[in-house]
Each structure stands twice: as structure tokens, then as C-alpha cells.
Amino acid sequence: HVGADGKRHGFGVYQWAGNGDRVAGEWRRGRLNGIATKHMSGGATISGSFRDNKANGYCRKVFMNGDVHEGLYRDDLRGDGSRPGYGEYVWRDGSGASYKGGWQRGVFSGRGV
């Protein structure tokens, strides 16, 4: 619901008019804070823990092509598409390929498996 302060509070669904992104989740003080699922207009979906509108904590992102990244996020998937921290990426191209390990600035970092 929208409180007396004009900000969203509690569980709700919101769709942005400009880009068509849609989110269902927990709102506090007008910002995503808690568990949410965001459906982006380009076809990707990210589900997990959000803080101040950004993915923070364990999240799962399914890309438009079906590839999946699961892991710990800090301060969202910045504009460069980076996936900081640790996680697993699975390609859905039929090859069965995957990478589990560290990420730095959107690329694999360290020794993954």
C-alpha cells in the first residue's frame, strides 16, 4: 500500500511506465527492501534479496537466452552487467557447461569449477 508519506510499504507489485520493468516484492519507505522478483522488459528476471532497490544477498538471475547466474550480489548488477562476489553461471545452450567461483567486474575471477 501507499502510506501517508506517499511511499510504497509492504508487499506489492509495481510496473514502470517508461521501460515496462515489473517487480513484485517487499517495499519499505518507497524502495525495494526484502525478497522480490524483478521482470525486466528485455526478458531477464532476477529473484532474491534486495536492499534500497538493489540486488543484495543471494539472488538468481535468468537471462533472456535461458542462461542462469546464482550467487551473492552486492549493490546490484551495475550498469556494466557485473556480477560481484561468488556465484554459479550455467549456460543453457545444451553443452552442460557451468562455472562456479568468484566474479570481479563481470568476469570469472580466480579458480572456479
SS3 75: coil
- pLDDT tens by residue, 57-100: 888 989 888 888 888 777 775 434 555 667 777 888 888 788 88
* Whole-number Cα distances in Å, 64 to 42, 46, 107: 7, 11, 19
Q: How far apart are the first and last CA of the chain?
A: 45
> What is residue 23's predicted lDDT score, i.e. its pLDDT?
94
How far is CA 36 from its chain centroid? 9
SS3 47: strand
* Domain boundaries 10-109, corresponding CATH code: 2.20.110.10
Q: How many residues does this entry show for the chain?
A: 113
Determine the Cα–Cα distance for residues 45 and 24; give it in Å rounded to an integer: 11
- pLDDT tens by residue, 32-50: 999 999 999 889 999 999 9
How far is CA 1 from its chain centroid? 23
**Parallel, antiparallel, or unpaired: how do β-strands 107-109 and 54-62 relate?**
unpaired
